[in-house]
Amino acid sequence: MRLKIISLVIAILSGLSACSTTEKVPTANSKPQNQQSKHTLDYSDALALFEKAQSKSGANRIQLLYYARDAAISGKDWQLLEQICLALESKVSVDHVQNKLYIALARKNQQRASAALAILNSLEEQLSLPEHKAWHQYLTGSIYATEGLPNQALNYFFNAANISAQSNVTIANLNDDIWQALQQLSSFALEKLDSGSVIQQGWVKLAKYQLVYLGAGVQLHQALNNWQRRFVNHPASYLLPEEVATSVSLVPYDTKRLAILLPQSGSSERFGAALKNGFLAALDKHNIDEVFFIDEAQSTQEIEQAIARHQIDFVIGPLLKSNIDKLAGSEVLSALPTIYLNTPSQLNHNAQHYYFALNPEHEVEQALVHFLAKEYQKPMLLAPDNNSGHRLISHFQQQWQRFSETQPEVGFYTDSKNMAKVVANLLEVDESKQRISTIKSLFSKEVESETRSRGDIDVIYILGDTIETRLLKPYLDVNVSTFAERIPLYATSKSYSRRIDTTDKGDLEGLYFTEQPWMLPGAVQQNDLREKYLTLWPEQADIEQRLFAMAYDSLNLIPQIKQLARIPGKEFSGLTGQISIKRDNILTRTLSWAQYKQNKVRLVKLNETPPAPLYMRQTQKTDEQVMN
């Protein structure tokens, strides 16, 4: 059968119900044969069974609650399931560990992950049966998976798999969830997991083979044969006939006649020229018969006619959001694989349509992950007082709230004149100066003084452009107290200019920033490409250089785009960064980190371990305190 994520509900019915040795959950065949009961009770109606149980007592009440519990799971009525389980809590004969596992299931499926995890943590000292242990690990892992933390989820899933194998416990959904989590990981993450039990190694190696040989029929077939000989009777064997084997069909798009929609007129014409240069530079690597450049400013009808006339089989573009929206209803484009060079106002969920944008939100998320990995508690954010600045600050704050109870300090500046005031206010330097002034007024003699800044800010993030960052950095240096440790400074790629940097690095010592590899010295291995570019276009602006890299990557993505969409953990190493597709066919970029050090820009590796949500980290901290 084709691999699919089987509902957790089915898994619980077939596995968790069998967890207990003291509580026997009846099946449909064991329903009472009393004729009156058969006519008055519908054993699929959880609410009716629950209400009926309220009028009963003793064993009859418990039995009806069991039936109601099974029916609530089958009907995915998670709120009612929790009510039923709470009603069973007071009954002595009930297996309370199993019943609490049901409560955790109900809360998880009501998007109350924190409450579900609290239940599971409370059970850790009560787990004696292997069935309970296996399901406890599985449910915990499923919460981490729901939170988008596949690496952490797999630790629990593998524990559940090992217990299941040793004790012959069946968890029907476990293998599917392991496979789904593995496909979220990069090759680097898989390499780190390739150890442990035979079961774990088998799973990880299979995921690595799929990642490496996806779309390569002969190599994949050979790798799978080797895997089967090494891992006989492995639980992942069921995947081989269908899921992994069908990966062979993910052959690249056979592109012979390519249409590229870009601005060829109007105010954005120079952006179109920069893109065109990038496409032409990348064409040498491809066996594309013909490429047609079409002005995206044309009407939908004109674009459709050109595509039909040239018998196009793949499209890249448009660049401008308004032109993507304009083509949203085009039946011609809906039938063709397309890489848009921006995101539309509303996503079109077409399996053949992909969205590639130089999205600054990705940089903000990348910086936030690093801040949390470094355990920074109180960031200060500085941004221009415009739509872009407010949008990025809002995005950071929304993401930050998932992981921290503290609120970032935020400052918006309107121009260079009020930057110093904004910084001084945020760091509370003015208050320090006022205190100094008050003390001096009390003494006739000269008083030695030193301005102090607030001490809780532990990281500063600048979301301004090149000029703004160069103006802000000195203000920050001056206003941070000499008694305090230097606050780490970070910025986005907007702060960096390859052109300005060649003649003026300003006073940027120590500043970290994210940037496309293409823009950083020594970050791209294709040195000859950079040299040729500088020879042909030595004076191009930064935006045009970035668009060149974007176009170059777009063309090179065509052979791998299907596979990137199929496996979220697969990455493409491009000029614009490490590119992957996590969801909705949106290409996500991970940029390089760099730092100004000793008047040079140096590449650096920074910790980007994905953070757990706040409630999970609080639970982990509490556990550590108890153990200590």
pLDDT in tens, 49-63: 998 888 888 888 889
Residues 312, 317, 321: CA angle, nearest 5 degrees: 140
Q: What is the pLDDT of residue 10?
A: 36
- Confidence class of residue 3 from pLDDT cuts 50, 70 and 90? very low
Residue type, 88: L
pLDDT band at 425 (very low <50, low <70, confident <90, very high): confident
State the pLDDT at residue 525: 80
Average pLDDT over residues 475-481: 69
Q: Which residue has the higher pLDDT, 338 or 347?
A: 338
Decide which of 484 and 466 is more confident: 466
Whether residue 6 has pLDDT greater than 70: no
Q: Is the pLDDT of residue 166 over 80?
A: yes
> Taking 60 as the threshold, does the pLDDT of residue 32 lie above it?
no
pLDDT band at 277 (very low <50, low <70, confident <90, very high): very high
What is residue 374's predicted lDDT score, i.e. its pLDDT?
A: 93
Which pLDDT value is given to residue 155?
Answer: 95
- pLDDT digits 0-9 by tens, 572-600: 999 999 999 988 999 999 999 999 998 88
Distance in angstroms (rounded) separating the CA atoms of residues 296 and 319: 8
pLDDT higher than threshold 80 for residue 253: yes
Distance between CA 95 and CA 84 in Å, rounded?
A: 14
Q: What percent of the chain has pLDDT over 70?
A: 84
**pLDDT, tens only, 397-424:** 999 998 888 999 999 999 888 888 888 8
Model pLDDT, residue 9? 37
Reported confidence tier of residue 136, pLDDT bands at 50, 70, 90: very high
What confidence score (pLDDT) does residue 223 get? Answer: 85
The CA angle 289-294-299, to the nearest 5 degrees, is 140
Which residue reads 């069991």 in tokens?
A: 66
Residues 497-552: pLDDT tens digits? 988 876 666 678 899 999 999 999 889 887 689 989 989 998 889 999 999 999 99
Given this model, what pLDDT does residue 216 score?
67
The count of other CB atoms within 10 Å of the CB of residue 605 is: 7
Question: Does residue 15 carry a pLDDT above 70?
Answer: no
Provide the pLDDT for residue 215: 67
Over pLDDT 90: what percentage of the chain? Answer: 55
Instruction: Give the strand order in the sheet containing 338-340.
Output: 290-295, 257-262, 314-316, 338-340, 353-355
Residue carrying the six token digits 């600045």: 389
Count of residues making up the chain: 628
DSSP one-letter code for 19: -
Q: What is the pTM of this model?
A: 0.80
Asked whether the predicted pLDDT for residue 338 surpasses 80, the reply is yes
3-state secondary structure 240-277: HHHHHHHHHHCCCCCCCEEEEEECCCHHHHHHHHHHHH
Quick one: pLDDT band at residue 29, thresholds 50, 70, 90?
A: very low
pLDDT for 566 equals 85
Spatial contact of 243 and 237, defined as CB atoms under 8 Å apart:
no
Q: Is the pLDDT of residue 628 over 70?
A: no
Residue 505 structure tokens: 């690095």
pLDDT at res. 429 = 54
Position 594 scores a pLDDT of 96
Rounded to 5 degrees, φ, ψ at 490 are: -130, 155
Q: 92-101, 102-111, 173-182, 297-306: which range is least confident on average?
A: 92-101
Find the largest Cα–Cα distance for the chain: 103
pLDDT of residue 480: 60
Q: Is the pLDDT of residue 432 over 50?
A: no
pLDDT given at position 505: 65
Q: Which two tokens stand for residue 430?
A: 């003015």
Statement: residue 467 has pLDDT above 50: yes
Measured CA to CA, the distance from residue 276 to residue 245 in angstroms comes to: 38
| pLDDT greater than 80 at residue 427 | yes
Instruction: Identify the band that residue 570 occupies on the pLDDT scale cut at 50, 70 and 90.
Output: confident
Average pLDDT of 360-374? 95
What distance in Å separates the CA atoms of residue 266 and residue 310, rounded to the nearest whole number?
25
pLDDT value of residue 5: 31
